[in-house]
Amino acid sequence: MHDVPAIAASRTGSAGHFCWIDLAATDAASAKAFYGALFGWTAQHQRVNGGSFTRLRLADRDVGSLYQLSSLHRDQGVPSHWTPYIQVDDMDDVLQRIQAIGGKVLVPPLIFPGIARIALILDAVGAQLGLWQPIDRGGSENDHG
């Protein structure tokens, strides 16, 4: 069973609030070392959906995550960047509303078992943003009821 990241778990029921942040890094090892030295963050490797990411932790709490940008993205000049996530109660409803008000879905929803259903969007002014719908520990979507 996967642990629900502490930063997201602390926001359960808080639709509309920032709840998570990812760092997509051109050099994940250097980023781990930098943030470890700067803030004392530790790195915990986690496999999910046939890939992996690194949970960044301070003491016993998650503060965000980190992953290595693909060689394709690096070759295209995509720089390291942070993506903040906002919690939503109903991903499908939010995605429909985003398209209706001038936003665009960049990455359709992906499920990270036991953690969240996430999607990436562009808002109406071109800023990238993540959406995060928590999944309860039993594997079903959390309806915050």
Tens digit of each residue's pLDDT (9 = 90 or more) over 6-23: 444 444 558 999 999 999
pLDDT for 116-145, tens place per residue? 999 999 999 999 999 999 997 544 443 322
Q: In the chain, what percentage of residues exceed pLDDT 70?
A: 85
For residue 59 the two structure tokens come to 């003491």
What type of residue is 49? N
C-alpha pair distances (Å), 122 with each of 45, 93, 102, 128:
28, 16, 9, 5
What type of residue is 47? R
The domain defined by 6-134 folds into: 2,3-Dihydroxybiphenyl 1,2-Dioxygenase; domain 1 (3.10.180)
For residue 43 the two structure tokens come to 């790195």
